[in-house]
Amino acid sequence: MTYCYNFFGIDRFFVRAGAPVPPGEHELRFEFDYDDGGLAKGGEVTLFLDGEAIGSGRVEHTEPGRFSADETCDLGVDLGSVVSTDYQPGRNAFTGAVAWAQIDVGDLDPEHQALEHQIHLAVAHGTQ
């Protein structure tokens, strides 16, 4: 299992598990513990297999605002530019089955959002 954070193609931060995921049905998860103190900070990444931590590492910095409009949000394939140099464009589809996926952003922290994003989030969530 590998997690790659692609910072605009300038830097790539990889976190890899110590062993491949065995065949069969599993729950894969990663957690990102963002550094406090504003935009574009880094954080610690932990990879989990069936609830057990199997790898960890650091992302030194993150994108400060938003990703480009021509990128895609994909599951099991990169239809836009590839995130990782571990695979090729157009030949990167996952050949297994994904039963379900969940994205949990935790508490919305306005400190990590640009003003425009704060307004959109407040309106969407009915907060003031």
Report the predicted TM-score, pTM, of the whole model to 2 decimal places: 0.78
Our count of domains for the chain comes to: 1
Structure tokens at 101: 């996926």
- Highest average pLDDT, of 16-20, 37-41, 65-69, 85-89, comes from 16-20
Q: In terms of residue numbers, what domain contains 50?
A: 2-125
Q: Read off the pLDDT of residues 26-40 as tens digits, 9 standing for 90 and up.
A: 999 999 999 987 888
d(CA 110, CA 96): 37
> Are the C-beta atoms of 33 and 44 separated by less than 8 Å?
yes
Confidence of residue 128 (pLDDT cuts 50, 70, 90): very low
